[in-house]
Structure 1
């Protein structure tokens, strides 16, 4: 499950959809964890944690890796509820290169926390916060693709 060189990854994004996992994480008050994104696509928007599945990586292995990377704690896919497949289309791409956007097929999973998370990594998000569903649906800084999980 090698990480592609940047130029190769750009060609993939130009020519194919990416398959990813989004994590809808709820605490005991049923609030949802969102992060303020550092990178394109959806830069400067509140978004659920998530990441792409790499070639030859099983969904379960990807789920464990993504949860550890995004949440600071590894979760098993079997502990989550599968919410369905969603499609995310963006005009932007991670490289901020002109002329093409990013197309994701997203496998959304809900995680219900039993205890608190450790410190949440800040690689992809410069800030994280818990939102009620009503708050996130009414906040213009929450990305529409995140809101779609709750509408």
Structure 2
């Protein structure tokens, strides 16, 4: 189910969003991150992910999000559950003044090679593979991504 901008702004103001984040590691254990184009977390390096829609089953959301974020449809069974996290942001995707964003995030880890991905550019302006030490120490990696490590 898709919401109008007004309905989505109301949800942002009143309730948490539920999402899936994909912690993708390559054969060298580096992690895929993209520089966010949109709010929240615009300008930061962040792992791929996306919201779960109302009435969308987790397995269906995982298929959709992996295709949209990685250019490859992957089943949830192919990933390892990392855990459930909370992300809080002072801003929101619609840039509505005074409305923050609260996500409840289900994080999964996948092991994939870069050549198997067709990374789209609608959410992230560029992608790179970082080792965990880079992620932990970089000022441009968002703290909510650092929390996975």
TM, length-normalised to structure 2: 0.97
> Per-residue deviation at 1:120?
0.4
> Per-residue deviation at 1:113?
1.1
Runs of 4 or more, structure 1, over 2 Å off, are 114-119
Q: How does 1:1-151 map to 2 (within 5 A)?
A: 2-113=1-112, 116-150=115-149
Q: Give RMSD over aligned pairs.
A: 1.0
> Per-residue deviation at 1:100?
1.3
Tell me the distance in 1 between the aligned counterparts of 2:8 and 2:99.
Answer: 13
> Per-residue deviation at 1:114?
5.1
Contact 2:18 2:103 (8 Å CA) reproduced: yes
TM, length-normalised to structure 1: 0.96
Q: How many residues align?
A: 149
Tell me the distance in 2 between the aligned counterparts of 1:92 and 1:98.
Answer: 8
Contact 2:12 2:101 (8 Å CA) reproduced: yes
1:116 match: secondary structure: helix
> Per-residue deviation at 1:149?
0.2
- Unaligned 5+ residue runs, structure 1? none
- Unaligned 5+ residue runs, structure 2? none
Q: 1:25 to 1:101 in 2, by over 3 A?
A: same
> Per-residue deviation at 1:48?
0.3
1:108 match: secondary structure: strand
Tell me the distance in 2 between the aligned counterparts of 1:66 and 1:149.
Answer: 19
> Per-residue deviation at 1:119?
2.7
> Per-residue deviation at 1:96?
1.0
